[in-house]
Amino acid sequence: MSARPHIPVMLDAVLDAAAVADGDTVVDATFGHGGYSEAFLRAAKCDVVGLDRDPTVQPRASELAKAYPGRFRLIETPFSDMDRHDIPPVDVVVFDIGVSSMQIDRAERGFSFQKDGPLDMRMSRSGPTARDAVMQLDEAALSTLFKVYGEERHARRAARRIVEARMDGDIATTGQLADIIETAIGRTGKIHPATRVFQALRIFINDELGELYRGLCAAEALLEPGGRLVIVTFHSLEDRIAKQFLRDRAGDVEGGSRYAPAVTREGPAPSFILPRRSVVKPSRSEEAVNPRARSAKLRMAVRTDASAHDCEAESWHPPRTELPTLERLA
């Protein structure tokens, strides 16, 4: 096997939560470099279906298919469509909601300001790019994106400087944008000032939060009773969606303490139970070895035999803010 470009985050905790057994069918919803998939294949005589919308993962998927004949296959698809493919009811679905280092480390993908490349950021090869957003969205829209998706305190200042800069010419590379943001915000501390702006653009271009919500709905439809759902997130917006989804699906309570009894909301029967309410976080030793793990949070749930909720009647709504849509980009 080829060397991995990154260490799978919280691998031991994921294996513990997934509890993969012989005969199980597992969906690795965010295949990436296949770290989780390979660990599942080694842990039990199970079948693994990897999902990824990035076509560049195909060589790694071919390696696993060759090493574990008949037990692994890759479907090139957004994970939100997992229930639309020929996948039987499954025992485990695992999400690792983060950008693969395979993408970050390749300058031509345009995800990182650490390596100058075209301002792209698409996880697939279709649709608008980050350059389209930077060059076409007005100042108010850019500011809203940076504030909501990047949680950037200086969102207005960054947006204003981008609009000024693009009047002088095309903003086509990651290096250009990083320099513009650094000029607008200034540099303090170890974190590059463009970090949150790049995060916001990546989330927007790939509709990552909407994709996450739809992916959780698809997993709910695909999991059989007793199946395990495992979600690893890396920032607060992702974790907020996962937490609220699981609370809603578990028929979770409003309030509830030793002073005030919890009141269960009316609605469909719970489609998940939550073995534990709190998140699992990486150990300090893992954080020391793998810095990418520092912001990780793991949540898990177990599928009941109740019908899946009607996701067509629901949608993910951003925090009380009018966000621009990809349809605004030509």
Residue with tokens 């390979």: 38
What number of H helices and E strands is found in the chain? 12, 9
What single-letter DSSP state applies at residue 288?
H
Tokens of 140: 């108010």
Residue with tokens 């060059």: 135
Per-residue pLDDT band at 330 (split at 50, 70, 90): low
Which H/E stretch holds residue 242? helix 236-249
Task: Answer positive or negative: Cα dihedral of 98, 99, 105, 107.
Answer: negative
What would the pLDDT profile of 95-134 be if each residue is shown by its tens digit? 999 765 444 445 444 445 567 789 988 887 778 999 999 9
What would the pLDDT profile of 126-177 be if each residue is shown by its tens digit? 789 999 999 999 999 999 999 999 999 999 999 999 999 999 999 999 999 9
Q: Would you state the pLDDT for residue 272?
A: 97
- pLDDT higher than 80, residue 312: no
Contact 171/163 with Cβ under 8 angstroms? no
For a pLDDT cut of 90, what percent of the chain falls above it?
A: 65
- pLDDT higher than 80, residue 65: yes
Distance from C-alpha of 280 to C-alpha of 202, rounded to nearest angstrom = 26
Read out DSSP for 220-231? Answer: HHHEEEEEEEEE
- pLDDT higher than 80, residue 49: yes
All residues at 6 or more sequence positions from 105 whose CB lies less than 8 Å from its CB, including other chains? 5, 112, 115
Phi, psi torsion values for 124, nearest 5 degrees: -105, -170
In 10 A of CB 3, how many CB atoms? Answer: 5
What would the pLDDT profile of 241-290 be if each residue is shown by its tens digit? 999 999 999 986 444 444 344 445 567 899 999 998 889 999 999 988 88
What would the pLDDT profile of 181-221 be if each residue is shown by its tens digit? 999 998 877 788 888 999 999 999 988 898 999 999 999 99
Task: Answer positive or negative: Cα dihedral of 74, 71, 34, 58.
Answer: negative
Per-residue pLDDT band at 2 (split at 50, 70, 90): very low
Closest to 5 (Cα-Cα) out of 112, 95, 126: 112
Single-letter amino acid, residue 289: V
Tokens of 273: 């139970």
Segments of the chain assigned E as strands: 25-28, 47-52, 72-76, 90-96, 223-233, 253-254, 263-264, 272-273, 297-303
Contact 157/185 with Cβ under 8 angstroms? yes
Domains of the chain are: 11-101+208-313 (3.40.50.150), 125-205 (1.10.150.170)
Q: Would you state the pLDDT for residue 109?
A: 42
Give how far the C-alpha of residue 232 lies from the chain's centroid of Cα atoms, to the nearest Å: 8
Question: Residues in the chain, how many?
Answer: 330
Q: Are strands 223-233 and 90-96 parallel, antiparallel or unpaired?
A: parallel
In 10 A of CB 174, how many CB atoms? Answer: 26
Tokens of 322: 């009018």
Q: Would you state the pLDDT for residue 19?
A: 97
Q: Would you state the pLDDT for residue 277?
A: 80
Contact 30/79 with Cβ under 8 angstroms? yes
Q: What is the mean pLDDT of residues 60-82?
A: 96
Q: Would you state the pLDDT for residue 216?
A: 96
Q: What is the mean pLDDT of residues 293-304?
A: 95
Global pTM reads: 0.86
Contact 163/135 with Cβ under 8 angstroms? no
